[in-house]
Amino acid sequence: MSRVLVIAEHDGEHLNQSTARCVACAVAIEPGGTDIVILSRNPGAIAAQAAALAGVTGVLTVTNPANGPALAVVLAPQIASLARDYDVVLAPSTTYGKDLLPRVAALLGVPQLSDIMTVTGPRTFQRPIYAGNALVTIEVPDGVKVVATVRGASFKPVGGGNAAPIRAVELPATLPAHTRFVELRTGKTDRPDLQTARVVVSGGRGVGSADNFALLYKFADRLGAAVGASRAAVDAGFVPNDMQVGQTGKIIAPELYMAFGISGAIQHLTGIKDAGTIVAVNKDGEAPIFEIADIGLVGDLFQVIPEIEKLLR
């Protein structure tokens, strides 16, 4: 029976939901045990959140001031030393996991799998390639550690109610002087998080300007939705980069995705393939987004959005 180590993602206070999705992937492997490791300067509160996740058999905490800012170069050697006791090491396929896990794999001298979508066997996994236009099934031979990132949109987060034991471990962490954290600039909003929101309202180049995005924010707030964007909207400076949805932005799976003024380039569609219902509003009836939309309306977003708002209860 294999043992799985899940690397927790957190912001210093809260466990990121991507961790519960990783645990869902771990559980699908049907392992002999699933432990979560939390590397932090102060893991207490996060450990409690991790211990509550269904299916988790243990939580390891590594306390070190050096683990404050999540620098891959600091975290990777600690994880690699823990990984010796596990057959499978999983991290979320977020910018955090993508930055970190290849270092762990390189230290362990094993190849890494990126973006597991489906567990098809104890050692076989399906993952997307070519912006999701093909899926490949990969088997990791016996005796080779599985080191993989997990595509969050493919797994429902596990529930809570568990009380797994929490254990502190001591690991030497060398603070490399060659990499220094300067700052994290976040556009803090009160809106739901794009990666976990039930409803996402998204705008593209068709929105036209940063000012015009106010219309989408207002609409999203009425719906309690998160706001996303196409690359073109980010490139044009309408919205910040963390709102980009797609192959090279965020892969999301909301219950409802509403795309306004987005043409539906393949790189964008990759990011919303797992959405429940996709609504597209575009003034061009030939826009490719209509090929995958569940509900399409040819129209001008500046007229359509206020009209929808009027009909909301």
Partner 1 sequence: MQKIIVCLKRVVDYNVRIRVKPDGSGVATDGLKMSINPFDEIALEEALRIRDRGLATEVVIVSIGPDDAQQQLRTGLAMGADRAILVQSTGELEPLAAARVLLKLVVREEPGLVLLGKQAIDDDCNQTGQMLATLWDRPQATFASKLELNGTVATVTREVDAGLEVLEVDLPAVVTSDLRLNEPRYVKLPDIMKAKKKPIEIVAIDSLGVDTSPVHRVTKYDTPPARIKGAMVKTVDELVGALRDRGVLA
Ligand X SMILES: Cc1cc2nc3c(=O)[nH]c(=O)nc-3n(C[C@H](O)[C@H](O)[C@H](O)COP(=O)(O)OP(=O)(O)OC[C@H]3O[C@@H](n4cnc5c(N)ncnc54)[C@H](O)[C@@H]3O)c2cc1C
Q: Which does 286 bind (CB under 5 to 8 A by kind): partner 1, ligand X, none?
A: none
CB 143 → ligand X: shortest distance, Å? Answer: 36
When the beta carbons of 56 and 239 are compared against partner 1, the nearer one is: 239
CB 234 → partner 1: shortest distance, Å? Answer: 7
Q: Which of 139, 193, 284, 294 binds ligand X (CB under 6 A)?
A: 284
Q: Which of 31, 152, 249, 254 binds ligand X (CB under 6 A)?
A: 249
By CB under 6 A, is residue 43 in contact with ligand X?
Answer: no
Antiparallel, parallel or unpaired: β 199-203 and 146-150: unpaired
What six digits make up the tokens of 257? 């995705």
Q: How distant, in Å, are the alpha carbons of 69, 77, 170 from that of 175? A: 12, 11, 15
CB 112 → ligand X: shortest distance, Å? Answer: 21
Q: Which does 136 bind (CB under 5 to 8 A by kind): ligand X, partner 1, none?
A: partner 1
CB 123 → partner 1: shortest distance, Å? Answer: 10
Sign of CA dihedral 44, 74, 145, 97: positive
CB 291 → ligand X: shortest distance, Å? Answer: 12
Binding letters toward ligand X, positions 156-195, x by CB under 6 A: ----------------------------------------
Q: With beta carbons less than 8 A apart as the criterion, state whether 206 and 261 touch.
A: yes
When the beta carbons of 11 and 30 are compared against partner 1, the nearer one is: 11
CB 140 → ligand X: shortest distance, Å? Answer: 28
Pairs from 244-251 (Cβ < 8 Å, separation ≥ 24): 245/194, 245/200, 245/202, 245/271, 245/272, 246/270, 246/271, 247/131, 247/132, 247/271, 250/194, 250/195, 251/93, 251/151, 251/152, 251/153
Angle at 64 between CA 62 and CA 67, to 5 degrees: 90
Q: How distant, in Å, are the alpha carbons of 99, 123, 146 from that of 108? A: 16, 18, 11
By CB under 6 A, is residue 52 in contact with ligand X?
Answer: no
When the beta carbons of 34 and 154 are compared against partner 1, the nearer one is: 154
By CB under 6 A, is residue 287 in contact with ligand X?
Answer: yes
Binding letters toward ligand X, positions 192-211, x by CB under 6 A: ------------xxx-----
Q: Which of 167, 300, 306, 309 binds ligand X (CB under 6 A)?
A: 300
> How far apart (Å, rounded) are the C-alpha atoms in residues 252 and 278?
12
Q: With beta carbons less than 8 A apart as the criterion, state whether 7 and 91 touch.
A: yes
Q: How many residues does the chain have?
A: 313
Q: Phi first, then psi: what are they for 242, rounded to 5°?
A: -70, -5
Q: With beta carbons less than 8 A apart as the criterion, state whether 111 and 105 touch.
A: yes
By CB under 6 A, is residue 273 in contact with ligand X?
Answer: no
Q: Which of 262, 275, 280, 293 binds ligand X (CB under 6 A)?
A: 262
Q: Which of 25, 75, 197, 232 binds ligand X (CB under 6 A)?
A: 232
| 3-state SS assignment for residue 10 | strand
When the beta carbons of 78 and 195 are compared against partner 1, the nearer one is: 195
